[in-house]
Structure 1
């Protein structure tokens, strides 16, 4: 038996977004039912390199499949400037839960982008207005691409407004999608006025104000992944129907972490975890909902679910690069 090596192209080719969205939704449901194990994300701080490592293991049991794996990922903000490398890189080890055999080693960076977009799509499906046709994106980096690709799978998106301080990133985004959508560049306010908004920035001072949003806007807050990061004004968060992916992670390092630590937000301000909505225990958007916010920090179960989709597709198509990793002798 061989291990499958899947680089970024292989991961992208074998991850059809509808299947990834379904698998991530299944993972949220499994977590809510208690059919998943996901130890807290652990960190190794590397102050001398202005970076860190994070380990994210998980096992989940969906209704028709189970899967296990671990992602080893970094955040090194100086990489692009100093080494011409991505800020975030990841490696996923996907294992057979029954035998523990490492079925695949795959690019975790592409995997992360895919599952993050899929998570936003799951939340958007439950929280955005049914007829949402416009999507605003603040931050035109690599994460923005899968936000559009995933959300467009579950809402009839026609118009996309993207905002970024970097003209080159804006130009690349527009060029990629202008044949499929009405894509324009604009201010943060222009993007925020859309039916759905995804914020994908690393800021620590809020850049989206309540006055910028439409009365029904659903916001996917993606950028905050560390303490002190904060994209949305407190006025938005105190008014919105807030849905989180995981209480421990979001209060520590998600969009709500700053107002939570200051006491501006409490348990009473959290509408639900996304898994509660997926399984039907708590309603998503109702007639009383105005603006809503999904605080997405990214969970290991999402990585494992996406890796499951990638591995199954790659195995069926007989692609990727098989190699001998494990000495399988039993003597």
Structure 2
């Protein structure tokens, strides 16, 4: 068994590998070739905790993850967790790995994949990232590896100036970012919209990874009205977990739009019409395939710490 630290995962999950991993995960999920029971969600001391099991022919994975916003004041990532990878044939534990970094990388890779599918190019124009936490950091890091970007904008309630400085981006206000970005990644914990359609261009792609409860919104109605394609990671998951899908659906705002899972779009080669939105709440399939590929890469390259239990 090997232990893969966050640093190990950063080394083995370069952007290209991570994007290919989530692409495979979404394809398998759409084909119903991943066993993925509903995640167990707990409220512990007012914080969100999830237990996410899944299995394929090659791997069984369980992730335990928490989202604790107060951690920002403690100098800790708000997302904490770990992933266990086991053999579905023998039951052996193959690897234990950092769950917060794995989550950040696979979520960023999903946003990148949705963008490439929508834009149909790696030259995406101006990118705007809303947020300055761990997810924002990895969205920027992997995007700079994967895409050709003309200009990078970052905004947040705080800390975005420091993040922008790290990557040579422009720290700006929300309105300026939305008006000037061709692609927007919303990576916030806000329960009220930060993606405001009145400021967006006529042609855009948005990936929204926040708003994980039925009443929370990261994207406003004006944005929903503008889009022509609404892409999701899992129809079942978004229909139960995020106000960004539940509320517009109840209001009839998704009628006459393409609404489809990203895996189905890939498998059936469905053409995306922009403006477009990708809504992801994260599914266990992403963790499973990404963890398995990280393990394979680590073994091949001799990365990780070998332990016995």
Matches within 5 A, 1:4-83: 4-46=2-44, 49-60=45-56, 66-81=58-73, 83=74
Alignment partner, residue 283 of structure 2: 299
Deviations 1:145-172 (A, max 9, x none): 2212333455321310111121xx2232
Distance of 1:190 and 1:280 partners within structure 2 = 37
Alignment partner, residue 191 of structure 2: 204
Matches within 5 A, 1:167-206: 169-178=159-168, 183-192=169-178, 193-206=180-193
| Higher Cα radius of gyration | 1
Q: Does 1:135 align with 2:127?
A: yes
Contact 1:137–1:198 (8 Å) recurs in 2 = yes
**Out of 122, 147, 150, which is 1:155 matched to?**
147
Contact 2:298–2:304 (8 Å) recurs in 1 = yes
Alignment partner, residue 329 of structure 1: none
Distance of 1:142 and 1:50 partners within structure 2 = 21
- After superposition, the CA RMSD in angstroms is 1.9
Relative to 1, partners in 2 of residues 1:290 and 1:15: Cα closer, same or farther, differing over 3 Å?
Answer: closer
Alignment partner, residue 77 of structure 2: 86
Q: Does 1:230 align with 2:217?
A: yes
**TM-score w.r.t. length of structure 2:** 0.92
Alignment partner, residue 107 of structure 1: 98
Contact 1:20–1:115 (8 Å) recurs in 2 = yes
Relative to 1, partners in 2 of residues 1:213 and 1:255: Cα closer, same or farther, differing over 3 Å?
Answer: farther
Number of aligned positions between the proteins: 306
Alignment partner, residue 121 of structure 1: 112
Alignment partner, residue 290 of structure 1: 274
More displaced stretch, 131-140 vs 110-119 = 131-140
Relative to 1, partners in 2 of residues 1:257 and 1:144: Cα closer, same or farther, differing over 3 Å?
Answer: same
Distance of 2:201 and 2:271 partners within structure 1 = 22
- Partner secondary structure for residue 194 of structure 2: coil
What is the CA-CA distance between 1:269 and the residue it aligns to? 4.3
**TM-score w.r.t. length of structure 1:** 0.86
Relative to 1, partners in 2 of residues 1:299 and 1:262: Cα closer, same or farther, differing over 3 Å?
Answer: same
Alignment partner, residue 328 of structure 1: none
